[in-house]
Structure 1
Amino acid sequence: MHNTLRTPGTEGYSECAATLILQYETIVFEELHRAELHLLLTTPGFVLDIGAGIGIDAAWFAARGHRVLAVEPTEEFRIAGMARSAGSAIEWLDDALPSLDRVLARRQMFDTVILNAVWMHLNERERRLAMAKVAALVAPKGLLMLSLRHGSVPKGRRMFQVSGQETVNLAGQHGLRPILNVQTESYQLLNRTSGVVWTRLAFRHAK
């Protein structure tokens, strides 16, 4: 698939998209993001969901009055997400880190930026490039939510082991201060039984 060639980290997702979409449909936002719920805006804002999948996070924010830009490079997920969110305040865009060219070309900033289960798909060089671009998209006093997967890598996927501390240090170089750094068990039972855990991070723009 063309996205696999141009977008680091999408390897293996198109091939098993049908199965993954069924799994994603079972996700409950409040359970997945329990650690970050107290940080979320209670008044409508502008949300950027990078690596939006089928739009589970995007839909939660849109239902609460937020405008959402959902960025998803895997075509199967994006099409499914657009079908699920028809008529909502979600705009879909084919783009991806580390370039994020189409998002940056809009010259917009966002009150909340979400990178859920995305960051570990980027290698060290890509993470350095990506953090500079992500930080520039977070509005003053805005929130960045980011999660890191630790453990075995599913066959056919491209993932790297990246620590929470490395991510905190990198974010700090771009004016983002950590306000949440916790480790949680995996939401999915199969991952829990194989020892997969997650680091859930949140940052505020210091400026």
Structure 2
Amino acid sequence: MRTKGTQGYGAEADVLAVRYESLTSDEVLGDVLHLIPGKPGRVLDVGAGTGRDAAALARRGHAVTAVEPTPELRAHGRRLHEGAGITWLDDTLPDLSAVKGTFDLVLLVAVWMHLDEAERPRAMRRLAGLLAPEGVMLLTLRHGPTPPGRHMFDVAADETVAQAAEAGLRAVHLSTWRDLLGRPGVRWTTLAFTPSGDVS
């Protein structure tokens, strides 16, 4: 399922697979590890890439559905994490039409920046609907220069928090961190949300 947000990823999949797997899930999610449910449950990893985080969560006992629209990255994920018990789907935001049910953890690492201004509110509503009543959504925002050939936006944290509130989600964590791959000018924000019970 090719979308604007996947531009450039297929052609660079071999290089990207090595880059993604050079980091551990604990490094990338270090500031929100305490928010990941300890009890095994249903996890949705949106934009799973090579499945680094999906595999780490599967090792914790979770039933993980990994959504990745770039076939070359999905192929690397299946190869690198064969036997991890991950369910792979070819799907994409903002609709995630192939995803069914609700999840105890919804994860979006380096994904949100690929959605444009019109897509983001729609995607947030869809994600809110996929979150279980006691669930947690973890989302990272990329800030800094856009690599050549990519469909990417520098999205502000306050915009994302406001859209989440409109979709019935409450922000419970916000932190910023340096780019772990050392790319000049790049930094990240991690946000965590839980259902608030209110939809404005």
Q: TM-score, length-normalised on structure 1?
A: 0.93
Cα shift readout 1:38-91 (whole Å, capped 9, x = no counterpart): 111111010000000000110011001100000000001101111222222210
Aligned Cα root-mean-square deviation (Å): 0.9
Contact 1:66 1:89 survives alignment (8 Å): no
Cα shift readout 1:152-204 (whole Å, capped 9, x = no counterpart): 11110010121000000000011110011111111112x1xx11010100001
Tell me which residue corresponds to 1:198: 188
Structure 2 gaps, min length 5: none
Cα shift readout 1:12-41 (whole Å, capped 9, x = no counterpart): 111111111111121111111111011111
In 1, Cα distance between equivalents of 2:37 and 2:164: 21
In 1, Cα distance between equivalents of 2:178 and 2:81: 29
Tell me which residue corresponds to 2:96: 100
Structure 1 gaps, min length 5: none
Query: Is 1:130 the counterpart of 2:123 in the alignment?
Result: yes
Tell me which residue corresponds to 2:86: 90
Cα shift readout 1:118-140 (whole Å, capped 9, x = no counterpart): 00100010101111101000000
Alignment length (residue pairs): 197
Tell me which residue corresponds to 1:184: 177
Tell me which residue corresponds to 2:52: 56
In 2, Cα distance between equivalents of 1:81 and 1:173: 34
Contact 1:46 1:111 survives alignment (8 Å): yes
Tell me which residue corresponds to 2:22: 26
Q: State the SS of the aligned residue for 1:128.
A: helix
Tell me which residue corresponds to 1:174: 167
In 2, Cα distance between equivalents of 1:144 and 1:80: 25
In 2, Cα distance between equivalents of 1:92 and 1:12: 21
